[in-house]
Amino acid sequence: MILDIGFDADDTLWHTESLFQETQARLEDILAQYAPREEVEARLHKTELANVRLFGYGIKGFTLSLVETAIEVSNGQVKASEIQELLMMGKAMLDAPIDLMPGVHAVLETLRAEHRLFLITKGDVLDQTNKIDKSGLGLYFDALEVVQEKSVESYADLFEKHSVRAPHFLMIGNSIPSDVLPVLELGGFGVHVPYHITAVFERADNDPAHDRFHRLDALAELPDLVAQLKGARRRAS
């Protein structure tokens, strides 16, 4: 029986990764005179991976990685005006309006009638809190949690904090490493809703071979899945 449901935020409830991709494309344009686009992309991803332990996830850390990549790839030749452009694009990302996924209000309204709902996202607290406020979705959730990393330990801490029993918890998100695998390890249900762009940190080669794992094509399908799981539980008992 599913009692509690956790939702990822970025690219699950609203679109985010497309903003990163647009800014990255501009970086590749700026550095085209110094290196091919694929090399710039690879250098940026390497820089992001190295910096995440210092800056965490989110737009601020991404912007700093853009600047560092521009300086390194150009051997310090990148113009100050181009660095300023990258910084302004980072600010524009922080200030961008929220573009909700189709049907998100109906999904949350339906599920909150019988379940506790949790929004569990990772990244910069100020950035993520601002997104939640701009989305207008906060009122649907019993708890809003911003964590530095979505790990087995962080989910276990949240379960203890909110008296969540893992076998009765379902987490849905666009990332198998962040939203599915830790919850499965703790004994809960993991639901993957793929997004058409996947950040380098969130890629997985294969779906987990697990009977508590499910894949949906769209968030709007979640209420039907929860109803199916509830019906399966009743038949089993």
In this prediction, residue 53 carries a pLDDT of 85
- Domain coordinates of the chain in residue numbers? 4-15+98-236, 17-95
User: Of 3.30.1280.10, 3.40.1000.10, 3.30.460.80, 1.10.150.240, which CATH number belongs to 17-95?
Assistant: 1.10.150.240
Distant-in-sequence, close-in-space partners of 225: CB < 8 Å, separation ≥ 6: 191, 214, 216
In this prediction, residue 64 carries a pLDDT of 96
Element holding 186 (H helix, E strand): helix 181-186
In this prediction, residue 233 carries a pLDDT of 61
Q: Which residues of the chain have pLDDT under 70?
A: 199-202, 232-237
In this prediction, residue 219 carries a pLDDT of 96
What is the CATH architecture of 4-15+98-236? 3-Layer(aba) Sandwich (3.40)
What SS3 class is residue 5?
strand
pTM above 0.85, yes or no: yes
Contact 86, 66 (CB under 8 A): yes
In this prediction, residue 207 carries a pLDDT of 81
Closest to 175 in 3D by CA, of 99, 122, 96, 227: 122
